[in-house]
Amino acid sequence: VGECAECRRRLEAEFRYCPDCGSPQRIKIVEYFRGDRELDEGDLRVSAYITTPRHVRLSVWSGDRADAVVSLDPRETRRLARFLVALAPTTQRHRATGLTRRLRALIASPREF
Ligand SMILES: [Zn+2]
């Protein structure tokens, strides 16, 4: 059981919309990453939920089936992001920084999403 992000009424955690005020409860940003076929199989889907509880869900997909799923809280998400940015080659780091900036702006003002 959670509460509506808009009107604060109690509702079931799995509800996508509040039955009272109709506001969306799970706004998310999804990005897909193709796995390196020379190393192994599968692709990565990253879903960033910007409503409460904020988290990022990473899922490994084989075809149309998720083989594994893990969710990270915002603190661990930031730690993962720093880790990946530090590994990226310089040219990709600039792009990652731009993407990070846009995502931060989006998360700061989800209404403009
Ligand atoms: Zn509501």
Q: Is the pTM of this model over 0.85?
A: no
Q: Of 49, 96, 93, 38, whose CA–CA distance to 74 is shortest? A: 49
Q: Which residue has the higher pLDDT, 3 or 104?
A: 3
Please list all protein residues whose beta carbon sits less than 5 angstroms from ligand 1, which is an ion.
Answer: 4, 6-7, 18, 20-21
What is the pLDDT averaged over residues 67-84? Answer: 95
pLDDT for 93 equals 62
CA of 103 to the centre of ligand 1 (A): 25
Strand ranges across the sheet with 43-49: 28-34, 43-49, 55-62, 65-72
On the question of pLDDT at 113 being above 50, the answer is no
* Token output for 55: 């988290």
Distance, in Å, from the CA atom of 87 to the CA atom of 75, rounded to the nearest integer, reads 19
CA of 17 to the centre of ligand 1 (A): 8
- For 39-50, b where at least 16 C-beta lie within 10 A, e where not — what string? eeebeeebbbbb
